[in-house]
Amino acid sequence: MSNEVADDLLLNVSDLDVGRGDEFQITGVDFTLESGDVMGLVGKSGAGKSTVMEAMLGIIQNSGTVWLRKGDESLSVKQSAGYSTQEGSLYPLLTLDENLNLFASLQGARGKEVDDRKKELLRDLNLYEHRHRRVTDFSGGMKKRADLAASLVHDPLVLMMDEPLAGIDPPQRRLIWQKIGSFVDAGKIVILTSHMIDEMVTRCNKFGLVHDGSFFRAEQ
């Protein structure tokens, strides 16, 4: 990963209203995150936590504003973010290495920096020896770690993760938290959802609650 510390990031979400057809609507999503912030999105299943992240990335319909700045420079949130979905985004019939090359190229990242970043990510996540295996042969925990690697391979400034800890054992959760920790230590921004509230309380410094179509924020 890049050794540069991003200590001047600012992510602002203002008056964001989110809709998926007529299924439901979330209104009033409003928060600001700075370098080193970790926001936990909480709420019951189906409340719309994933939908909020997708709206921030412009994947689904929304109104309001979402912007990211690094110092005086305005950046594209979509191009500057890594997104790890709950279901996973990797292509099962490709090897892990092929998947990482693909995801890096989709974000315009190529060359030696990507090769070095892949090696570091895979070693940190205990996946290096499995890099030439097809993802379809991975266990559930390995797929979670591989998906995290894919979301980080282009060296994003913002990391969004949807239930990255679901269905994996404590040792693998620790690996994921360690990688998230190094990302935060580099002054970057993390947003994640999880049903493991006890771990969220100890790891997150900001929270967003999605409940009955409304968004509430809190800090600790």
Length of the chain, in residues? 220
2 domain-assigned: no
Pairing of strands 189-193, 25-34: unpaired
Q: Which range marks the domain in which residue 61 is found?
A: 9-219
* Contact assessment for residue 114 and residue 153, using Cβ atoms and an 8 Å cutoff: yes
Q: What is the pLDDT of residues 68-113, one digit of tens each?
A: 999 999 999 999 999 999 888 999 999 999 999 999 998 888 889 9
Q: What is the pLDDT of residues 143-175, one digit of tens each?
A: 999 999 999 999 999 999 999 988 888 998 899
Q: Has this prediction a pTM greater than 0.85? A: yes
Q: What is the pLDDT of residues 176-212, one digit of tens each?
A: 999 999 999 999 999 999 888 888 899 999 999 999 9
Output the pLDDT for position 22: 62
53 domain-assigned: yes
189 domain-assigned: yes
15-19, 113-117, 128-132: segment of lowest average pLDDT: 15-19
Output the pLDDT for position 116: 94
* Contact assessment for residue 7 and residue 49, using Cβ atoms and an 8 Å cutoff: no
* 88 Rama sector, left if φ>0, alpha if ψ -120 to 50, beta otherwise: left
pLDDT at 6 over 80: no
Q: d(Cα 14, Cα 29) in Å, to the nearest integer?
A: 7
93 domain-assigned: yes
Q: d(Cα 202, Cα 210) in Å, to the nearest integer?
A: 20
The DSSP bridge partners found for residue 66 are 13
The count of structural domains within the chain is 1
4 domain-assigned: no
pLDDT at 61 over 90: no
The 3-state DSSP class for residue 145 equals helix
**What CATH number is attached to the domain comprising 108?**
3.40.50.300
60 domain-assigned: yes
Output the pLDDT for position 24: 56
